[in-house]
Every structure is written in structure tokens, then in C-alpha cells.
Amino acid sequence: MKVLLCEDIRKLGYVGDIVDVSDGFARNYLLPQGLGKPATENNIRAIAKEKALRAESRIKERKRLEEAAKAVEGAEAVLAAKANEQGVLFGSIVEKDIAANLRDQGFQVADEVVQLGSHIKNVGTHKVELRFADDLKVTVGVVVVAEQGEQAGQAEQVPPAAAAEPEEPAE
């Protein structure tokens, strides 16, 4: 069935595109959700102006993504996390942590752009792919270091009951 798309649909097409899809996909998903209309001459003429506006905005967005990708390419994010003596983290570094670090450095990176195969669970240097678009990818370095501060064993030196009791004033 030929359908005129009313919205951009990833891996299918953009607004105003006429795509050939299975009858069931059109009847059960595209048409009821308002994502497409039957490809008639009247519908094609009605959506032509919106198609031009969307194409222009896609070009601007693509240019912005290319600039952001070029700026962040080769950057390095340094993250500190608690780790044991063997360098295994107590937790993990996730996409959100990396994106937040890059944003703190002034780069325009959304959380969804960071692509990790699995969460980072070890201290060291890791390569991470940033996917701004299906065909626009860059690689950044992520350095995970052990947090400097109190060791886990030192936190138990002061019993919690003793620390919570206030001293009574002498009369």
C-alpha cells in the first residue's frame, strides 16, 4: 500500500515521502496513529508546503549535528568513581555520566548520543562511540580513575552512636 507520511519515521522516511508499506502496517499503525495518509493527489498537494519546511529544518539540524560531532571528536572525559584495589568499580559508569562530563566541558552532547556496549566497570582508558546520526559517528576517550578520598575501611573508625550523642554541658 502506498502511504504519504505525515511525520518523520526513523528508517522509513520523512514528511511528504510516499512509501510502499504492507497493508497491515498501514492499516494498523500508520493510519490510526496519524503518521500517514493514503497517497492521493489531494493529500500530496496539502502536505507539500510542510515537506519543504521539514526538509529545511532537517538540513539545519544535520549541520548542527556535524558541527557538534567535529567539536567533540577526540575529546577526553575524565570520570572519578569509587573502586577497590584491583581497579573494579563499586558501580559503573553509564552513558548519562559520560554525556554530563562532556557537557560540563562545553560540548553539545545528549545522553542518547553516547553508545556503550556495556557499562564501564573498570578503572582505565576506554573508547566510546558517540552516534549523532546513523551515518555520523565519532569516538572519544573516557578515562576512569579511582576516587581520591576516604577508604571504605576508614569510614568505620567512629561508631555511629558515639558520633550522634551530643556532649552534655558541665554545670
Buried b (16+ CB within 10 A) or exposed e, 122-160: ebeebebebebeeeeebebebebeeeeeeeeeeeeeeee
Topology adopted by domain 72-149: Ribosomal Protein L9; domain 2 (3.10.430)
Domain ranges of the chain: 2-58, 72-149
Q: Cβ distance 36 to 17 under 8 Å?
A: no
The pLDDT value recorded for residue 169 is 52
pLDDT at 147 exceeding the cut of 90: no
**3-class SS of residue 121:** strand
Give this prediction's pTM: 0.65
CATH of domain 2-58: 3.40.5.10
Q: How confident is the model at residue 157 (pLDDT cuts 50, 70, 90)?
A: very low
- The predicted-structure confidence for 23-57, as pLDDT tens digits, reads as follows 999 999 999 999 999 988 888 888 888 888 888 99
